[in-house]
Amino acid sequence: METLKRLIFYTADLKAITGKGDRTCQNIMAQMRDFFELKKWQQPTVYQASDFLGIPLEQLVSFIKV
């Protein structure tokens, strides 16, 4: 497995993975925050994104831009 360069998962990462637009990815990120009961100012982690999207962490890490 690749070493994680960062822990936070951003909308741009989701765009790279799904190929969806800005607004769609922002909505998915909002759903993710609701699912994990995060505050508006809290960002989901790579681990939470992996769980929420159902994508193994090893595959998810390869899409994350540093």
Residue pLDDT, tens place only, 16-43: 999 999 999 999 999 999 999 999 899 9
SS3 state at 45:
strand
Q: What is the mean pLDDT of the chain?
A: 91
With cut-offs at 50, 70 and 90, classify the pLDDT of residue 64. Answer: confident
Give the pTM.
Answer: 0.86
Q: How far is CA 10 from CA 5, 19, 28, 40, in A?
A: 13, 14, 11, 13
C-alpha dihedral (27, 2, 7, 53), degrees to nearest 10: 30
What pLDDT is stored for residue 6 in this prediction?
A: 86
Mean pLDDT of 43-64: 92
Mean pLDDT of 56-61: 90
Cα gap 25→50, rounded to integer Å: 15
